[in-house]
């Protein structure tokens, strides 16, 4: 079965053609500079092709993607008919969607209804969907929502302590993001530990970071909120902050609220604290070379991650498994070690030698650790492909 996975941004479109059963990716690529001039980067195995192709809209990007997938020299299929379905990553499902679903007119209308909650991403996601529908009208399309996995949270976790009218009238609540990654890691971890009923905290750590408390495969709480700004500090995002800071900065520096939020989203986090970079590798190099600001930024990040592990251990009444995933979680052994250093009260012990490995699926805890600690490389695309295949096969 061939599933085409589409992740559409405002001026870009990522794609992969994948077999959901084996996870084998036959081709992948990126259409960028949509609406400007257009460039297609295509990869099959180790072979890379770059083409400048006019892409005024996402429709041209989809057409270029399908064309290169069928190209005589660098394609992998002979006809679009070989694509069994398309799985679309959609950022925000609001309170409309609790799971992935086959796209129809009602689903498109509901995604449009969620645009106020995802004003930057949902319109782009819709453009990708509508472009695929125009070029592939008979091919099933599936929406996989970044927020869906977290919709099992109880009200005590997702409600904000603000007047109820804002929840009832405006759907203001905690939603959480990176849901496809958290779902994949929860599912894969159950396979690794050999059971489905256990308590885990998953640390999706990267330039964007989020954490989830999961019980028996269902999310109980997560760090991001109405938007991806909440939670631990990230590459350029501040993470949790006293809301009055926004008022103070706006009043003192004559900023608008939008300008202040732009600062909190794009000019804060590790970039702001270090004054050097949002990349954790640069922070490690800086810290090793005596840059105290880089060292402080990394220490702040690990401290906040550990605090949330402790909070979620309380929320779950204990944890059985702690997982690390995403770019930093999978590859930065020092961050994992520093986070786990705080967790001795939970009985967490990791093997320093095992922890040195990078990017590999492995258990890094010692045999006498009371909590299993795993590194589980995430695979959001595989999760999208599997969700898509499951829905399409069930509909046949």
The answer to whether domain 3-145 and domain 179-380 are alike in fold is: yes
What is the average pLDDT score of the chain? 96
CA distances from 294 to 172, 234, 337 (A): 35, 14, 17
Closest CA to 376 of 361, 363, 390: 361
Q: Which residues, in sequence order, are bridge partners of residue 283? A: none
- The percent of residues above 70 in pLDDT, for the chain, comes to 100
Q: Do residues 117 and 156 touch, judged by C-beta distance below 8 A?
A: no
With left for phi above 0 and alpha for psi between -120 and 50, is residue 105 left, alpha or beta?
Answer: alpha
pLDDT for the residue 148: 97
Tokens representing residue 323 in the block = 């997982």
**Average pLDDT value for residue range 380-390:** 97
Among residues 52, 146, 282, 368, the one annotated as catalytic is: 146
Is a pLDDT exceeding 90 seen at residue 86?
Answer: yes
- The percent of residues above 90 in pLDDT, for the chain, comes to 97
Q: Do residues 12 and 31 touch, judged by C-beta distance below 8 A?
A: yes
**pLDDT bracket for residue 396 (50, 70, 90):** confident
Per-residue pLDDT of 92-112, as tens digits, reads 999 999 999 999 999 999 999
**Segment holding 69, helix H or strand E:** helix 58-69
pLDDT for the residue 120: 81
**Average pLDDT value for residue range 187-207:** 97
Q: Which residue has the tokens 């449009």?
A: 112
**pLDDT bracket for residue 122 (50, 70, 90):** very high
Verify whether residue 221 is a known catalytic residue.
no
Q: Do residues 84 and 1 touch, judged by C-beta distance below 8 A?
A: yes
The residue extents of the domains of the chain are 3-145, 179-380
Closest CA to 100 of 387, 393, 385, 381: 387
321-325: strand order across its sheet? 218-222, 210-215, 199-204, 321-325, 372-375, 362-363
Give the whole-angstrom CA distance, residue 208 versus residue 158: 20
Q: What are phi and psi of 61, to 5 degrees?
A: -65, -45
Tokens representing residue 262 in the block = 């732009």
Q: In a 10 Å sphere around its CB, with 0-12 CB exposed, 13-18 middle and 19+ buried, how is residue 170 labelled?
A: exposed
Q: Which fold has domain 3-145?
A: Nucleotidyltransferase; domain 5 (3.30.420)
Tokens representing residue 229 in the block = 């700004």
> What predicted TM-score, i.e. pTM, was given to this entire model?
0.94
CB neighbour list of residue 386: distance below 8 Å, 6 or more residues apart: 20
Give the whole-angstrom CA distance, residue 130 versus residue 136: 10
pLDDT for the residue 6: 96
**Average pLDDT value for residue range 259-275:** 97
**Whether domain 179-380 has CATH 3.30.420.40:** yes
**Segment holding 302, helix H or strand E:** helix 292-316
Give the whole-angstrom CA distance, residue 223 versus residue 240: 9
**Average pLDDT value for residue range 290-316:** 98
Strand positions, DSSP E, the chain: 3-8, 12-18, 25-32, 39-44, 47-52, 85-90, 101-102, 141-145, 199-204, 210-215, 218-222, 321-325, 362-363, 372-375
Strand positions, DSSP E, 187-335: 199-204, 210-215, 218-222, 321-325
Is a pLDDT exceeding 90 seen at residue 186?
Answer: yes
pLDDT for the residue 78: 95
Taking each continuous run of H as one helix and of E as one strand, the counts in the chain are 15, 14
Give the whole-angstrom CA distance, residue 124 versus residue 62: 13
Q: Do residues 69 and 27 touch, judged by C-beta distance below 8 A?
A: yes
């Amino acid at each position: 079965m061939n599933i085409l996975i589409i992740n559409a941004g405002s001026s870009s479109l990522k794609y992969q053609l994948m077999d959901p059963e084996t996870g084998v990716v036959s081709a992948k690529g990126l259409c960028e500079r949509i609406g400007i001039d257009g460039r297609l980067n295509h990869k099959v195995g180790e072979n890379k092709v770059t083409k400048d192709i006019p892409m005024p809209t996402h429709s041209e990007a989809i057409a270029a993607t399908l064309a290169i997938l069928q190209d005589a020299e660098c394609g992998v299929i002979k006809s679009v008919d070989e694509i069994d379905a398309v799985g679309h990553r959609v950022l925000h499902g609001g309170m409309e969607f609790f799971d992935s679903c086959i796209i129809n007119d009602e689903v498109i209308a509901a995604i449009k209804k969620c645009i106020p909650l995802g004003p930057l991403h949902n319109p782009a996601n819709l453009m990708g969907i509508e472009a695929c529908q125009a070029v592939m009208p008979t091919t099933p399309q599936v929406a996989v929502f970044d927020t869906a996995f977290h919709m099992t949270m109880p009200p005590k976790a997702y409600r904000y302590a603000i007047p109820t009218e804002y929840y009832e009238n405006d759907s203001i609540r905690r939603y959480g993001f990176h849901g496809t990654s958290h779902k994949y890691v929860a599912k894969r971890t159950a396979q690794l530990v050999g059971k489905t009923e256990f308590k885990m905290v998953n640390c999706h750590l990267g330039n964007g970071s989020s954490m989830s408390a999961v019980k028996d495969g269902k999310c109980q709480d997560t760090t991001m909120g109405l938007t991806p700004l909440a939670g631990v500090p990230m590459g350029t995002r501040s993470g949790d902050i006293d809301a009055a800071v926004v008022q103070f900065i706006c009043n003192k520096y004559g900023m608008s609220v939008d300008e202040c939020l732009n600062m909190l989203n794009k000019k804060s986090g590790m970039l702001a604290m270090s004054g050097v970079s949002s990349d954790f590798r640069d922070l490690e190099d800086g810290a090793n070379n005596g840059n105290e600001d880089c060292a402080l930024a990394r220490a702040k990040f690990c401290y906040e991650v550990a605090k949330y592990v402790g909070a979620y251990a309380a929320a779950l009444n204990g944890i059985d498994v702690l997982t690390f995933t995403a770019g930093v979680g999978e590859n930065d052994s020092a961050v994992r070690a520093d986070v786990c250093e705080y967790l001795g009260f939970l009985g967490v012990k990791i093997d320093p030698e095992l922890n040195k490995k990078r990017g590999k699926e492995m258990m890094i805890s010692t045999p006498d650790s009371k909590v299993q600690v795993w590194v589980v490389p995430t695979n959001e695309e595989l999760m999208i492909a599997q969700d898509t295949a499951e829905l399409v096969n069930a509909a046949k």
